[in-house]
Amino acid sequence: MGVVAALVRSSFLVDAVYAESGREHGITPQQGQLLCVLMAQPYGMGELGGMLRLAKSSLTGLVDRTARRGLVRREPDPADGRAVRIALTPAGAGVAERFYAETCRRIEDLTAGLGEADRAALAALLGRVVLENKVPEVFE
């Protein structure tokens, strides 16, 4: 299998994990990504759009739907009175922690058939690809 097919097919695996974890926590995969990003700190809409690679209208809809579920809230940006930041609510923080832990476990399980050396090599190579392409930090 070539590198393109391997990366594309592995992205399908990760997407399926997000979807399965999301279903078990009553959220969409996109809401799961949003919650995971917000675990670190609240972010402005522009920052979130860049991290999640979403257009402004798509991000607004995602935030609106997630806020209606009581998982995130808009709060004033202390640095800019005209702007808002998106933050986890207490309920959202709980869902985020559970979703994150379960998703990490499931993704880790994807490599269960590899030995430690192969897992380390895979992590190193994928880490380089991610860093070279300036992918925002979501999972640690």
Backbone φ and ψ for 75, nearest 5 degrees, come out as: -135, 155
pTM for the whole structure: 0.85
Residue 11 belongs to what domain range?
3-132
Q: How confident is the model at residue 138 (pLDDT cuts 50, 70, 90)?
A: low
Give the total number of structural domains in the chain: 1
74 within a domain of the structure (yes/no): yes
Place of tokens 């592995």: 10
* Pairing status of strand 43-44 against strand 72-77: unpaired
Domain of 99, CATH number, reads 1.10.10.10
Query: What are the residues whose beta carbons fall under 8 Å from the beta carbon of 30, sequence distance 6 or more?
Result: 52, 62
124 within a domain of the structure (yes/no): yes
Q: pLDDT tens across 22-78, in order?
A: 999 999 999 999 999 999 999 999 889 988 888 999 999 999 999 999 999 999 988
128 within a domain of the structure (yes/no): yes
Instruction: Give the 3-state secondary structure of residue 24.
Output: helix
138 within a domain of the structure (yes/no): no
Q: How confident is the model at residue 82 (pLDDT cuts 50, 70, 90)?
A: confident
